[in-house]
Chain A
């Protein structure tokens, strides 16, 4: 087993036995479940909506070259600048380069998993540029020195009391049990930073090909400040984030919000179309879009699994996943955790190191059932498993070769079955099972024996 897989097992084991963790996460996801059920009830036909989103994303992913070029032309026409980054390294260089060119000393940052993916904050800090997370959850993560626990709700694993303790410890504020006061503390800390930052960095929930705009979804208003107050706005956008038309948002916005949080739409939705024009009172002087590949074209080349690029990062499959609910978001040690992470990480970062993730699933299919863009997530877990065994079958190859031999003829199968029952009657134990569970008590005769003797 490779060291990454071993680490995963250690982390997963620790969390699986942590009842306090399980209680907090079950409670928080329970609130989410109730809100989403109410949210879905507002739709006349949720499944038809899923089919429509899947169709739009299918069109995008299968004509990605055309939509990307259309998007680039529109951004340029709006006065923005476009940078293509094939790797995370290139993306970091471009962003640090823009900051240096303008003498930026401080960056305010929106919540964006893509920036996590390219490890942007450490790169900016290393270049001497102070970088502040302005999303409340991400701000708490930053104070605690933790990575996000969830792609939508970064501190889902924390209670109000945990947040209060973090603030007291890091900011010296008095303990409080009020969520409002905790938000107020963060707001007071961050407000001045927006006014004095030289650059704002955001991700994008959607990039609209026909207009060259990016769409940003949030609940706190911090993203709007990130892209409107500083002189420079940099948006980092995964190439799969495109949608063809503005009108597509009429369905994407509510379905993203409902799947993500149960809201009808999120509190603030912005369309950003470029730098400040003559006569406009606000907005940045420069608008940069970085189009990031970082392994996505490898997934695009895989005809069988490219629909995993439909993902709009709503987080629904994480919340639905009984494995995620048990081991939590940190055990995965990936930017994208949970079921969709187990599908795409082996493509983005290599099957050799990440094959354990698709196996860490009971294949219950809850992920596929909730996906708003109809990705057959658990089927892709099976595809990844098949790819993993054809690349490196390991010791299990022998097991399944022998197993097949037994199963290919009824007399051999009967012998195998008889042996299995004989061994288990003699207290044969399989420790991974029997450490926590009893084995079934083997019967004296099989069904086929009964059938013959009746």
Chain B
């Protein structure tokens, strides 16, 4: 099976450790993923802002670049949802990439049937359901299943795990006061669990929460699930 890494643009540029962690986990379970170096961005920022004509050539480009692979794995539910659910609408029909692009946790648990990747992470952790992972991809159990297999990790559920963190792409800068108030509400929910770490499948949510946590000097750390799974 030829497995391609789809590393979203801002993971590539700002959170490379998440991509590295995903590679380490995939290699640990015996896969040899490849990185098609021509990839850039899936087009979601333009698409979500209403600039579909700007997003379309990037969608076509993506499909061409990833065409030779059997599976495309991505450490982001949001970018996976863009390819799987919004490319068909943007391109006016189905494309091969849409059916073989997988969010990291669904690739591990659903496609490969792997739940225990031999990770060790002794901490009290709460999981934030990223909106696109949860509601676009329908992924709720896979990340929790993976986390429950991590040695030393205590998983505690927060009250409003499914509520948006307030990021929403350009929404965060177009409506900063609403976006920040939503982060504040979310963080209150996280604090009540007593967790030391909040884990999710999308680095955009984590960037938003981390930005607010650091500004408020609240000592809760954000981590991508791939980073937890890579820890030994």
Looking at chain A's contact residues, is the secondary structure mostly helix, strand, loop, or mixed? helix
* C-alpha spacing A363/B135, complex, angstroms: 10
Task: Please state if B211 and A16 are interface contacts (CB–CB under 8 Å).
Answer: no
Q: Is the interface of B mostly helix, strand, loop or mixed?
A: helix
CB of B192 within 8 Å of the partner chain: no
Contacts A366-B135, A420-B13, A450-B16 hold; do A430 and B48 have CB atoms under 8 A apart?
no
Q: Does A361 contact B (CB under 8 A)?
A: yes
Given contacts A12-B178, A13-B177, A417-B9, contact A433 B172 (CB under 8 A): yes
Q: Chain A residue with minimal CB distance to B36? A: A410
Tell me, yes or no, whether A401 is within 8 Å of chain B by CB: yes
Closest Cβ neighbor of A393 among chain B residues:
B51
**Of B9, B15, B169, the contact of A440 (CB 8 Å cutoff):** B15
Instruction: Please determine whether A382 and B47 come into contact, CB atoms closer than 8 angstroms.
Output: yes
Chain B residues closer than 8 Å to A79, beta-carbon distance: none
Contact digits for A153-173, partner B, Cβ 8 Å, 1 yes 0 no? 000000000000000000000
Indicate if the CB atoms of B35 and A451 lie closer than 8 Å: yes
User: Is there contact, CB below 8 Å, between A438 and B215?
Assistant: yes
Residues of chain A from 400 to 416 with CB closer than 8 A to chain B in the complex: 400-401, 403-404, 406-410, 413
**Nearest-Cβ distance from residue A324 to partner chain B, whole angstroms:** 10
Q: Beyond A322-B163, A400-B46, A437-B211, is A421–B14 a contact (Cβ under 8 Å)?
A: yes
Q: How far is the CB of B50 from chain A (nearest CB, A)?
A: 3
> Of the candidates B7, B17, B45, B135, which one forms a contact with A403 in the assembled complex, judged by CB atoms under 8 Å apart?
B45
* Given contact pairs A16-B180, A388-B50, A437 touches B58 in the complex (Cβ within 8 A): no
Set B40, B171, B210: member contacting A408, Cβ < 8 A: B40
Q: Which of A116-124, A272-280, A441-449 contacts B (4 or more CB under 8 A)?
A: A441-449
- Chain B contributes a number of interface residues (CB within 8 A of A) equal to 66
Q: Which of B131, B132, B136, B182 contacts A323 (CB 8 A)?
A: B182
Known: A22-B185, A400-B46, A408-B57. A436 touches B215 (CB 8 A): yes
**Chain A nearest CB, measured from B125 CB (Å):** 21
Q: Which residue of B lies closest to A445 (CB)?
A: B16
Query: Given A408-B61, A446-B16: A433 and B166 within 8 A (CB)?
Result: no
Shortest CB distance A316–B (Å): 15
| In the assembled complex, B145 has its CB within 8 A of some CB on chain A | no
Interface of chain A residues 92 through 109 with chain B (CB within 8 A): none
B residues adjacent to A (C-beta < 8 A): 7, 9, 11-17, 19-20, 23, 35, 37-41, 43, 45-52, 54, 57-58, 61, 86, 89, 131-132, 135-136, 162-164, 166-183, 185, 207-208, 210-212, 214-215
Q: Top 9 A-B pairs ranked by shortest CB distance? A: A362-B168, A437-B211, A385-B50, A389-B50, A364-B164, A447-B16, A364-B131, A447-B19, A365-B135
Q: Can you identify 22 A-B contacts, CB atoms within 8 angstroms?
A: A17-B177, A322-B185, A323-B182, A326-B181, A359-B174, A362-B164, A362-B169, A366-B131, A382-B50, A385-B50, A390-B50, A407-B40, A413-B41, A421-B13, A436-B176, A439-B211, A440-B211, A447-B11, A447-B20, A448-B12, A450-B20, A451-B23
